[in-house]
A = this chain, B = another copy of it.
Amino acid sequence: MNTLLSLPALVLGLLCCLPALADARTTSEILESSGPEHWRRPAQENLLYIKLPSGTVVFELEAGFAPAHVDNIRALVAAGYYDRSAIVRSQDNYVVQWANGGDPEPALGQARPALALELFRPRDELALTAVSDRDAYADSVALFNGFPVATDGNVAWLVHCYGMLGVARGAPDTGNATSLYVVNGHAPRHLDRNGTLVGRALIGMTHLSTLPRGTGPLGFYETPEETTALLGVRIGSAMAPADRLTIEVLRTDGELFAEYLAARKHRSEDWFVHPTDAVGICNVPVPARVVAPPAD
């Protein structure tokens, strides 16, 4: 199967830490071999469902880096704040963003009106799966429970990869989660450590990525008619059980994921003639899937 590999690639494959090439499994083969123990089911209390006219996007919230912001999101959902929101911005190869579309602004409920940026955690508190120490923006990059992380020394922060969910803000205001954005293109890494990240799209990202681009500055829509209303924003644990999706995310610890990561670095599919033997942090999108709930 490796007849197209160049001699240097073969030598590299034999020298390095990967399984011998003849035995290397592809990423697809690895995923197909996975068992239930290789997947985790995010708690419904950490799933944010956004209903759009074309379908539902589900995000996993990650409160560890930004507890006050995630608390605010929960409070805004509970207050029904987002039910008056719409997607007001779709900038090509950058972000989509939603915000209050009504006037007057809905009540914030228990949410705090202003929050400080929440960006960092101590690296030594986190069980990280190393991805690479070659990164344009940080000393090293890793995965933490399925989320992309960068580190310098003992400081760790979440990374703006495709599908990441962040808290919009102006300058100098630091945002309060009433307006959120989602990365819809090449990772805008210059936003790292500048925008508070709170989660990642697991399911349905295409409902956001295919939206018409706004023609105003920064991809904002120029008329209310161009916006897309959010038809419902809910936390899974507050939804009727029948409406919840059972979602699984590939665990990023353990031997199977280590093999998967190695296979992303050294692609052994016949198509590749020059495997890169390297991978960037945003080129390891952690697989997620909807599964049927087990029969009781």
Which positions in A face B, CB cutoff 8 Å?
3-4, 92-93, 117, 119, 132, 134-137, 161-163, 169-172, 185-190, 192-194, 205-206, 209-213, 264, 267, 269-276, 278-283, 285
Contacts and interface: CB of A to CB of B under 8 A. Distances in A.
Given A135-B136, A185-B186, A270 B172 contact: yes
A221 B163 CA distance: 23
A271 B213 CA distance: 23
A264 B172 CA distance: 20
Nearest 8 pairs of A and B residues by beta carbon: A193-B274, A136-B280, A171-B271, A171-B270, A206-B213, A134-B136, A162-B186, A92-B206
A269 to B, nearest CB: 7
A8 to B, nearest CB: 11
Given A186-B162, A206-B92, A137 B278 contact: yes
A86 to B, nearest CB: 18
Contacts of A269: 171
Nearest to A133: B136
A70 B137 CA distance: 35
B187 A276 contact: no
Contact of A190 (B117, B171, B283): B283
Contacts of A119: 274
Given A134-B135, A172-B270, A212-B210, A161 B190 contact: no
Please report whether the interface of chain A is mostly helix, strand, loop or mixed according to DSSP: loop
Instruction: Identify the interface centre among A3, A92, A163: most chain B CB within 10 Å of its CB.
Output: A92
Contacts of A267: 190
A4 B108 CA distance: 27
Contact of A278 (B3, B136, B285): B136
A135 to B, nearest CB: 6
A272 to B, nearest CB: 5
Contacts of A189: 276, 280, 283
A37 to B, nearest CB: 26
17 contacts: A4-B171, A93-B205, A132-B136, A134-B135, A135-B136, A169-B271, A172-B270, A186-B282, A190-B264, A190-B276, A190-B279, A192-B274, A193-B274, A193-B276, A206-B213, A209-B209, A210-B211
A279 B192 CA distance: 12
B4 A172 contact: yes
